[in-house]
Structure 1
Amino acid sequence: MPKGSPELTQARRDEIINACAHLYETMCFCDVTIKEIAKFTSFTRPSIYNYFHTKEEIFLALLQREYDGWADELRELARTKRALSRAGFARILARSLEKRPRMLKLLSMNHYEMEANSSPERLAEFKAAYGRTMMAVNTCLEIYFPAMTEAERDGFIFAFFPFLFGIYPYTTVTDKQKVAMERAGMHFHFMTPYEMTYNTVMRLLGTDEKKDKRR
């Protein structure tokens, strides 16, 4: 790691992550390279290796930032402690994911590669962000559904987080996929990320109205 203040180091890391995010908007994961990323930064490709060892580490840092932003929003929801029913909570959670298509795409398309090709240090940083997000969801459940037991909250979390991996491929369908499904005789019902998340959260929360803290 080059010498410099922590603020300068973070600023340079952010510049690299921003360049990666920009490219990922129009390029697939396999086509985004460190050479391409360098073109959108103020320094050379060799310099990037001072901050990230692989392109997967850059993508993992991008996903980490997505998780941190989502966790911040969930913690703010927990702090407000406003009146929410099950449906109200499901709507807010669904909207929070609808705003994060990049996070959902990274999770469903490239998560395994990012973790497999990142150093233990970078992976530990990411897992910490992932853990903070799970805790933020758990805190919301504790506040808005106090009748839920710890086991029920764990059940929600360990069903909800794996569910996130499937949102993007089930809600982003290409024309080629549509044609293929028609030829296969499949009647595909398109759902938005919001609709899919809302329906899933409502099912996970169940129908016990006593779990609602407020109406």
Structure 2
Amino acid sequence: MPKGSPELTASRREEIITACEKLYETMSFKEITIKEIGAVTSFTRTSIYNYFQTKEEIFLALMQREYEQWAEELSAIADRNKTMSAETFADVIAKSLEKREQLLKLLAMNHYDMEENSREERLTDFKVAYGASLDAMRACVVKFFPDVNTESFIFVFFPFLFGVYPYAVATEKQLTAMREAKLDFKMHSIYEMIYSCVIQLLGGK
């Protein structure tokens, strides 16, 4: 661990994570290297190794940050509202994930690689954040829909998130291939998919 104040360490970690996030908007997971990340930070590339040993650890930290922010938002939803209809709940959950496209992309594309190539302590930190999002969602369902089987909701909803991004976002190459294959398909937005899933899990139509 580098020498310096906890604030400096946290600030530099955040800078590295944010640099990775920006690159991931235009580059693929395979294209991004620690050298590429270092080129857009304010300190040397070799300094990154004081904070992360692999690029997978940086990506895992990015996904950890996404889960932490989502868990905070879910907790705020539970705190702000006494009751919610299924439609309103589905709407706020869909909107909360619509702006977390990065999280859904990471889940769909590179989750296994990130976990496999990260140190155990970094993986544990990530699992704490993931667990917080599970707990926050569980608390929402228990509070607003006491008649719904909460564990069944969690068991279906969280694995469902792994498949949202590929069905909601396609490259022009993928769209062309589907048209040439004469597939009968319609792209749906992240919001539409999440909303529909939540409504169905809550017993709606």
For this structure pair, what is the TM-score category when the shorter chain's length is used for normalisation?
over 0.9
The answer to whether residue 174 in structure 2 is matched with residue 177 in structure 1 is: yes
| Superposition deviation, residue 189 in structure 1 | 1.2
Q: Which residue of 2 aligns with 1:7?
A: 7
The aligned runs of 1:94-113 (5 Å cut-off) are 94-113=94-113
| Superposition deviation, residue 112 in structure 1 | 0.6
Which blocks of at least 5 consecutive residues in structure 2 are unaligned?
none
Q: Which residue of 2 aligns with 1:166?
A: 163
Q: Which residue of 2 aligns with 1:16?
A: 16
SS in 2 for 1:139: helix
Name the amino acid aligned to 2:181: A
Q: Which residue of 1 aligns with 2:132?
A: 132
- In the alignment, the residues of structure 2 paired with residue 207 and residue 121 of structure 1 have an alpha-carbon distance, to the nearest angstrom, of 41
Cα deviation 1:32-86 (Å, max 9, x = unaligned): 1101111111211111101000000000000000111111110000001243111
- In the alignment, the residues of structure 2 paired with residue 49 and residue 93 of structure 1 have an alpha-carbon distance, to the nearest angstrom, of 37
Higher alpha-carbon deviation: 94-103 or 179-188: 179-188
The aligned runs of 1:140-159 (5 Å cut-off) are 140-148=140-148, 152-159=149-156
- In the alignment, the residues of structure 2 paired with residue 53 and residue 64 of structure 1 have an alpha-carbon distance, to the nearest angstrom, of 16
- In the alignment, the residues of structure 2 paired with residue 57 and residue 47 of structure 1 have an alpha-carbon distance, to the nearest angstrom, of 15
| Superposition deviation, residue 207 in structure 1 | 3.8
The partner residue of 2:195 within 190, 193, 198 is 198
The aligned runs of 1:14-93 (5 Å cut-off) are 14-93=14-93
Cα deviation 1:114-153 (Å, max 9, x = unaligned): 00000000000000000000000001001101223xxx10
- In the alignment, the residues of structure 2 paired with residue 85 and residue 202 of structure 1 have an alpha-carbon distance, to the nearest angstrom, of 10
Name the amino acid aligned to 1:170: Y
Name the amino acid aligned to 2:198: V
Q: Is the 8 A contact 1:81 1:143 kept in 2?
A: no
Q: Is the 8 A contact 1:71 1:136 kept in 2?
A: yes
Cα deviation 1:71-106 (Å, max 9, x = unaligned): 111000000124311111011101111011111111
Higher alpha-carbon deviation: 121-130 or 43-52: 43-52
Which blocks of at least 5 consecutive residues in structure 1 are unaligned?
209-215
Identity of aligned residues (%): 57
| Superposition deviation, residue 180 in structure 1 | 1.5
RMSD of the alignment, in Å?
1.2
TM-score normalised over the length of structure 2: 0.97
